[in-house]
Structure 1
Amino acid sequence: MKKSQIIILIIGVISIGVLFSLPRVVVDNDEGDAPIESEEAQASSKPVEELHDAPIPAEAREALTSLASQLESEGNKEKFAVLADTLASLYTQIGKFDSAAFFLEQSAIRLETLESLEKTGNAYYEAFTFALNEEKIAYLADKTRVYLNKVLEKDPKRLDLKTKVAMTYVSSSNPMQGITMLREILEEDPTNEDGLYNMGVLSMQSGQYKRAAERFEELVRYHPDNLQGQFYLGVSYFESKQNNKAKKQFQEVQRMTTDPMVLASVESYLDKL
């Protein structure tokens, strides 16, 4: 699973806080006839710079200002792209993912290559996964779809990109569109890592832990090195009161990693079993 950078395994002890930043949807009893709840979120037309207000570290500000000035006066589109990539990299390093995406977008507008479009869409998706404000989530989701759909028009077999587009719909006013897309991905590729993972996470978020366990069982069967899936399988067993399976699964996670945060969280679950 890419991005993904997308979900940190553990925050806190027993709570899986990251799940509650996902849209409140009920995914599936039989893969999806259950009701769906979601708050309206319409994309903002505000420029991306206005949507985040976290301060920039003083040591980074000078370099960013200098590069931005060079970018503004650069007429050669190849040199412009190099400067934009450098700016995006710096913004990513300081956690300004929306600004990183914004500058990659300026490059994509000039280059109009599939590579630049994909890079921009992926950057907006990364920003989307970290966003908390509803207006910002909607704006970044819309931008993600704009650019990744352009790539998918040329290469519809890119299920990795289709998965990202699906997840942006899950947090929109039409979450079923995203869930339907995830199902289509799994129909086309039943072993798809991203599809299985995200359907499992959505089942967890909606409290359907037995269904989540089924999804994560499939995931780790085909992708045993997916640590997130292995961990969430243990959580799903725990929450669905399958204590023996949960204990065995958490012990498996212990064998897979030396990450102290993961191990601490696993220990907290084992102590409760």
Structure 2
Amino acid sequence: MFALPKVIIDKETGAALSGATATANRDKAAGEATDEHEGHLHNSDGSEASAAHTKASPEALGKLKSLLADYRKAGDDANKVKLAEQIAAQYTAIAKFDSAGYYYEQVAAARPGEKNYQKAADQYFEAFSFAATEERTKELGQKAQGLYNKVLQNNPANLDAKTNLAMTYIAAGEQPMQGIQLLREVITTNPNNEKALFNLGILSIQSGQYDKAVERFQHLVEVNPKHVQGNFYLAVSLAEIGKKEEARQVFTAAKKLDDNPEYQSSIDTELEKLK
């Protein structure tokens, strides 16, 4: 089966975190642009989600190193915030999401508000989704939770923040029911919310409730017929409840939605099982 997401979040409809008092692991991008901020947890050995991380160009590393040097020397608060935003953007571009979250968090500390809190939370959430260990998942999840709660304090109607917050509770395994309740609140507010439908569908698969998964994914592909993962998991769920011909039809149609070789291979494997 095409691998179930480690953190149940759909990147199509849009998918870090370190404690402020944690001991810093220094971020060395190809041995350059060393970032020494406290609370930084990015793995310097590249072991974590290496496939998802881009390789920074020498130009990008040089620019980042220069920005970090300017940031450390900056005395003016306004200039420091501006530099923090630029550094965060650079880290985002090279997929160092926890570092990006840290600097966006500095911006939010200086300029509190829904949008700035969410920028930081979203980057931490990206890093959380790639966390390679239980300890790191917990640390990043807690950081994201704190920031998403601040987003919701500013705007309780922010469904994207509520959905991501829910997934940190579920994926970290400490408060799964609280996360499920939040997803249900999102669906109650917006029955067509793609992220919530997708995540509830995946949760149904993981708990072996394939009939409920079919309902969620059918609804999702009605809302967005081109939802790649939604179509794939709808077919998987149909196959699991014995509706093989329907599953075959959905798999066949889903092959046209994404030419990614891994995705194509996964569908071919599933189709072979249906023979």
Q: Aligned residue for 1:93?
A: 93
Give 1:200 shift: 0.5
Give 1:267 shift: 1.9
Give 1:87 shift: 1.9
- CA shift in 2, pair 1:75/1:241, >3 Å: farther
Q: Aligned residue for 1:250?
A: 251
Give the RMSD, CA atoms, in angstroms.
2.4
Conserved? CA contact 1:227–1:256, under 8 Å: yes
Q: Aligned residue for 2:31?
A: none
Deviation larger for 55-64 or 170-179: 55-64
Conserved? CA contact 2:42–2:99, under 8 Å: no
Q: Aligned residue for 1:5?
A: none
Q: Normalising by structure 1, report the TM-score.
A: 0.78
Q: Aligned residue for 2:190?
A: 189
Q: Aligned residue for 1:125?
A: 125
Give 1:141 shift: 1.3
Q: Which 4+ residue blocks in structure 1 deviate beyond 6 angstroms?
A: none
Give 1:243 shift: 0.9
Q: Aligned residue for 1:230?
A: 231
Q: Aligned residue for 2:199?
A: 198
State the AA in 2 paired with 1:17.
A
What does 1:134-153 align with in structure 2 at a 5 Å threshold? 134-153=134-153
Look up the SS of the partner of 1:70 in the other structure.
helix
State the AA in 2 paired with 1:134.
E
For 2:157 and 2:113, how far apart are their aligned partners in 1? 18
For 1:87 and 1:174, how far apart are their aligned partners in 2? 33
Conserved? CA contact 1:108–1:120, under 8 Å: yes
For 1:93 and 1:143, how far apart are their aligned partners in 2? 21
Q: Where does the alignment leave 5 or more consecutive residues of structure 2 unmatched?
A: 9-18, 25-38, 47-54
State the AA in 2 paired with 1:105.
E
Q: Normalising by structure 2, report the TM-score.
A: 0.78
State the AA in 1 paired with 2:215.
E
Q: Aligned residue for 1:113?
A: 113
Give 1:178 shift: 0.4
Q: Where does the alignment leave 5 or more consecutive residues of structure 1 unmatched?
A: 1-13, 24-42
Conserved? CA contact 2:41–2:98, under 8 Å: no
Higher RCO (CA < 8 A, seq sep 6+) = 1
- CA shift in 2, pair 1:188/1:114, >3 Å: closer
For 2:163 and 2:153, how far apart are their aligned partners in 1? 14
For 1:204 and 1:66, how far apart are their aligned partners in 2? 47
Give 1:249 shift: 0.5
For 2:113 and 2:78, how far apart are their aligned partners in 1? 12
Q: Aligned residue for 1:35?
A: none
Q: For residues 196-241 of structure 1, what are the alpha-carbon distances to aligned partners after superposition, in whole Å with 9 as ceiling and x for unaligned?
A: 1110011112232222111111111122232221111112222333
For 1:121 and 1:22, how far apart are their aligned partners in 2? 15
For 1:115 and 1:75, how far apart are their aligned partners in 2? 25
